[in-house]
Amino acid sequence: MVSVRSVVDRVGPTLLHALQVPDDSPAVADVVIAEPGGAVTLSAGDLVLGVATTGPEDAAELVRQSAAQGAAAVLLKPPFAAKPPVKRAAKASGIALVQVHAATSWAQLVWLLRTVLDALADESEDLDPGSGDLFRLADAVASVVDAPVTIEDTNSRVLAYSARQDLTDPARVATIMGRRIPDDVLARFRSRGVFRELSRGRQTIFVPAQRDGTLPRLIVPIRMGGELLGSMWAVVAGPVSDERAAAFADAAPVVALHLLRRRAHTDAQRRASAELLRGVLEGRANPRKAMAELDLSDEPHRVVVIEVTGGDGRDAEGLRLALLERISQGIGSRPVATELGGLLYAVVPDRPGPGGWAEL
């Protein structure tokens, strides 16, 4: 059974926000686009996309029709989803109401929702963040642009790379070996304004060859719903044609969907782990069972408790993330962590040497 809540959680808050999800919502079966004008024909469990909604009353009527036919949820963009008549109709009809980010492409959302539905219906599908899907996609993009490619996150960490990296330069080799752009190389690209352009635009960026022998780069930002998710970097021999640059840019939305899918799965896992750890700390969960569910190594562990003080909410959140990153570097993996009573709790191995509490 695939629930509305699980679909929203898997897609993630960047694109979807659940305004109302009744406890007795039917299981999700398919994704349907509501065509403009007249009545809609639906099946039980449909996710109904209000693509052609023109006003609050129109949206409210779609909600009522969808509920009457047993649909699981209606998805609308701002401002209609949050309008009082629409919310009242959803509440009275007992149907889930989900708001879609305004900048999201409906076509891309249909593709993503169906991908998520397939994955949730068959949890044996490999959705691990380290799966080969992103590497295969990197190879496909490389064939389009005819150049070796890396796919990187917003922190310049390498998520995947294509074949033919032997045709690149020492900077690219060091990037792949270290799984991130080296600091000195990063500084050179930053001095040329590359990251400033990435943060602001959607177009490809060409960086000429550099004096140290670094080959030219063709770079494209990866965005979805206005959010920068990462970037793709191709090592090219020189300036490329407009057609090649356009083909490279056209691949970005597809990569964005994969990155969102990857992040949504990781976020869902972390939320579940955090809730389980919170249950142990509060005495609601069995520690031994939790250890097995959290896939912790069979050895003693220590709970590290850190109080984050000072600054506003955003500063505190940034500090918490930085602390988790430092702990991750120390133990070699992302720790099981949660927040409780304003404190950050992280579980780390209690052993001497690398990867243990002593090193931290």
What architecture is the 133-263 domain classified under in CATH?
2-Layer Sandwich (3.30)
**Crossing angle, helix 106-121 and helix 242-281, to 10 degrees?**
50
Per-residue pLDDT, 18: 96
Reply yes or no on whether the pLDDT at 185 is more than 70: yes
Task: Confirm if 134 and 258 have CB atoms less than 8 A apart.
Answer: yes
Per-residue pLDDT, 4: 96
Amino acid type, 337: A
For residue 206, what are the β-bridge partners? Answer: 218
Q: Are strands 158-161 and 205-207 parallel, antiparallel or unpaired?
A: unpaired
Task: Confirm if 277 and 337 have CB atoms less than 8 A apart.
Answer: yes
Tell me the CA distances in angstroms from 279 to 269, 272, 297, 339, 347, one per residue in order.
15, 11, 19, 11, 14
Per-residue pLDDT, 20: 96
Categorize the per-residue pLDDT at 129 as very low, low, confident or very high, splitting at 50, 70 and 90: very low
Per-residue pLDDT, 128: 46
Of the listed ranges 144-148, 171-175, 325-329, the one predicted with least confidence = 325-329
- Between CA 141 and CA 74 the distance in angstroms is 34
Give percent above pLDDT 70 in the chain: 84
Categorize the per-residue pLDDT at 130 as very low, low, confident or very high, splitting at 50, 70 and 90: very low
Give percent above pLDDT 90 in the chain: 38
Per-residue pLDDT, 190: 94
Per-residue pLDDT, 321: 65
Categorize the per-residue pLDDT at 115 as very low, low, confident or very high, splitting at 50, 70 and 90: low
Of the listed ranges 124-128, 198-202, 240-244, the one predicted with least confidence = 124-128
Q: What value does the mean pLDDT take over residues 176-201?
A: 90
Reply yes or no on whether the pLDDT at 287 is more than 90: no
Reply yes or no on whether the pLDDT at 213 is more than 50: yes
Of the listed ranges 60-74, 99-113, 115-129, the one predicted with least confidence = 115-129
> pLDDT: is 86 or 116 the higher one?
86
Per-residue pLDDT, 122: 53
- C-beta neighbour count of 211 within 10 angstroms: 6
Q: Which two tokens stand for residue 67?
A: 């509920």
Question: Where in the chain are the domains?
Answer: 4-121, 133-263, 296-349
Superfamily name and number for 4-121: HprK N-terminal domain-like (3.40.1390.20)
Sheet with 96-100: list strands edge to edge.
16-20, 96-100, 73-76, 46-49, 30-33
Per-residue pLDDT, 38: 64
> pLDDT: is 332 or 244 the higher one?
244
Q: Model-level pTM? A: 0.49
Reply yes or no on whether the pLDDT at 3 is more than 70: yes
Categorize the per-residue pLDDT at 73 as very low, low, confident or very high, splitting at 50, 70 and 90: very high
pLDDT (tens digit, 9 = 90+) per residue, 8-39? 987 777 688 999 999 999 999 988 888 666 67
Per-residue pLDDT, 334: 64
pLDDT (tens digit, 9 = 90+) per residue, 139-161? 889 988 999 999 999 889 888 88
Q: What value does the mean pLDDT take over residues 185-203?
A: 93
Reply yes or no on whether the pLDDT at 331 is more than 70: no
Of the listed ranges 74-83, 123-132, 153-162, the one predicted with least confidence = 123-132
Reply yes or no on whether the pLDDT at 229 is more than 80: yes
Mean pLDDT of the chain: 84
